[in-house]
Structure 1
Amino acid sequence: MESSSISMDLVQFMGKLGDLKDEHYHMTLALSAIIELLIDKGLITRQELEHKTAELDQLMAGSPYPMA
C-alpha cells in the first residue's frame, strides 16, 4: 500500500514540475516581448539592457549572507 502512495506522490510531483516549466516558459516569453517592445520604441537600448543585466548579475553573484 505504501508503494502505491509513493508512486502517486511522484506522479503529483512530476505534474507540478511540468506546470512550473510551462509557467516559466510563458513568463519568459512575456518578459522577452516586453523587452523587445521597449527597445523597438526607443525607450531603452540593447547596450543599456546588457549593462543593467551585468550589474544585477554581479549583485546576485555575491553571497546573500555577510561574512564576519
Structure 2
Amino acid sequence: MERYRTTMEEVGIVAKLADLKEEHYRNTLALSTLIELLVEKGLLTREEVEHKAVEMDSFMAHSPYPMA
C-alpha cells in the first residue's frame, strides 16, 4: 500500500530543511570565526589549517562502514 504525504506533512519537511540550513550556517560561521581567531593570534597558520583539512577529507573519503 502506497502512502501519500499530506500537504501539512510536506510543509513540515520543508520547515525542517530550513531549520537544518540555518543550523548549518551557524555552525559554519562559528567554525570560520574560531579558525580566523586562531590564525590572527598566531596559534595556527592558514597552511596548517589547509593541510589538516586535506588530511581529514582524505580520511573521511573512505567510509568506515562496509559498502554492499
TM-score normalized by the length of structure 1: 0.85
Stretches of structure 1 that go unaligned for 5 or more consecutive residues are none
Deviations 1:15-35 (A, max 9, x none): 011011011101101110000
Identity of aligned residues (%): 58
Q: How many residues align?
A: 65
Runs of 4+ in 1 over 2 A off after TM superposition: none
Q: Give the letter for the 1:51 counterpart.
A: H
Tell me: higher relative CO, structure 1 or 2? Use CA pairs within 8 A at least 6 residues apart.
2
Name whichever structure is richer in helix by fraction: 1
TM-score normalized by the length of structure 2: 0.85
Distance 1:32 1:47 in 2: 15
Quick check: 30-39 or 57-66, which moved more? 57-66
